[in-house]
Amino acid sequence: FPSHDTMDVSASMKDSGAIGTARDAAAALYETLSRAGVAVSVMVFNHFVSVPVPFGVPLGKAKSIISRIKSSGSTADYEALRHAHQMILRRPESRKVVFALTDGEGRPASARKQIDIGTRAGVTTVGIGIMTNVGHVYPDSIRVDNLSDLASASFNRIKLAA
């Protein structure tokens, strides 16, 4: 299955100190999934949406790019989810998963609607709340305060999503 890791890089992530945890989590997810043979890409969003790590980037280069990601601006979570769902739906694999690493400070109602649209289209969307609970936006979510939380909690979600 392909995985599209969507990372919030808005100012609220910087202000709360969550951006470092988000970078660590994104790098760990990328490494774990790519070593398991999963096609992985990383999208970042603030008031813009971009894909600094497209599908097929080697692990070392991807981790280097992720480590340099900065945060600023507002939170275009709905737009990022819509774009991530559209990109992953173009992939040939039957299982499709989007991991959204975020503090949930965007447009929650619009993001929830997009998650529902993705679900109906066959995309599993898992919210990874960075230093916060994002269950109010992502029905399938976990909270990650540090990298050990990711190891213990999210990999169970990864198995369920696969």
Residues near 127 by beta carbon (within 8 Å), at least 6 away in sequence: 100, 102, 104, 134, 135, 137, 138, 140, 141, 142
Contact criterion met (CB below 8 Å) for 69 and 33? no
State residue 156's pLDDT score. 59
The widest CA-to-CA distance across the chain, in whole angstroms, is: 39
Rounded to whole angstroms, how far apart are CA atoms 19 and 21? 5
- Segment among 11-15, 44-48, 59-63, 97-101 with least mean pLDDT: 11-15
- pLDDT tens sequence across 49-66: 999 999 999 999 999 999
If pLDDT is split at 50, 70 and 90, which confidence band does 157 have? low
Average pLDDT over residues 12-38: 88
- pLDDT tens sequence across 118-149: 999 999 999 999 999 999 999 999 888 877 76
State residue 158's pLDDT score. 54
pLDDT higher at 152 or 62:
62
pTM value is 0.88
pLDDT of 85 > 70? The answer is yes
pLDDT of 86 > 60? The answer is yes
Alpha-helix residue ranges (DSSP H) falling in the chain? 11-15, 18-35, 59-67, 77-89, 108-121, 147-149, 155-161
